[in-house]
Amino acid sequence: MANTLFAGKVYHRFDELPSTNDYARDLLAKSKPPEGTVVRAASQSAGRGQYGSQWLSTPGDNLTLSLILYPQWLNPGASFRLSEAVALAVWDAVHQCLPADFPLHLKWPNDIYLQGRKTAGILIQNAFSGTQWQYAIVGIGLNVNQGVFPPELPTATSLQLAAQQRFDLEQVADTLLECLEHRYLQLKAGQTAALRREYHSRLLGMGEERQFAEPEGSVFTGRIEQVEDDGRLAIRTTEGLRVFALKEVRMLP
């Protein structure tokens, strides 16, 4: 069991669910589960990633779970602070599982890239009532022991593929929950500046000349300068500084 104060102390486990985020939302509709409640499934039939994409995972090989949080002490306008903290937590967990010299980055807004390939995705669903934060459901998909990925996921990888060894899934899950709780408490303690510095230091493409694509297909070259307080990506181009919201731009491989 994870060495935590609250993360994972209430644990709902299933062989299969359509979506752990959806199950967590159903729990919240009926009651108020304790903070740190985890919903985990060995297989998801309708798992989702960012931008409404489907999260594909081999049953029993990977971690697909959701964590219920109540960040009511955080201003709703600062919701990206939670995204930063969660992304760093997943980065920490992967880092602890692998040798320190493995190339590991965060890709805006909160994917985890290992050796240039995606190994984890995060989907946070927030609920607000006016200016009051009601809850956050933190959905995480972490590829652990999957050895083969379908052709539609050409940039996917797993801890096993990177390290050439299988991992104890329960141990990885415990490490993940410990890292999530640590970063969440760091955020709660007001250490937002430190979290932001770490997030930027691990951001894929930060300060490097890269190519980016806009939804209509146009491609341009620029350098990531920073991620704004509201989560938008600031890119320095030959035309000046351009700022993009989610779904407005993507970095090309």
- In tens, the pLDDT along 41-81 reads 998 876 555 444 455 567 789 999 999 999 999 998 899 99
Helices 169-188 and 192-201, axial angle in degrees (round to 10): 130
Does any domain span residue 3?
Answer: no
The 10s digit of each residue's pLDDT in 139-159 is 999 999 999 998 888 889 999
Q: How far is 229 from 67, CA to CA, in rounded Å?
A: 24
Q: What is the pLDDT of residue 54?
A: 52
Shared-domain flag, residues 175 and 220: no
Cα→Cα distances 199→36, 47, 65, 114, 126, Å: 23, 26, 22, 16, 21
pTM for the predicted model, two decimal places: 0.94
**Span 85-115, pLDDT tens digits:** 999 999 999 999 999 889 999 999 999 999 9
Look up the CATH number of the domain holding residue 176: 3.30.930.10
The answer to whether residue 69 sits within a structural domain is: yes
Tell whether 45 and 167 lie within a shared domain. yes
The domain total for the chain is: 2
- Residue 54: how many CB atoms within 10 A of its CB? 12
Strands, E, within 145-218: which ranges?
209-213
Q: Based on the fold, state whether residues 178 and 244 are members of the same structural domain.
A: no
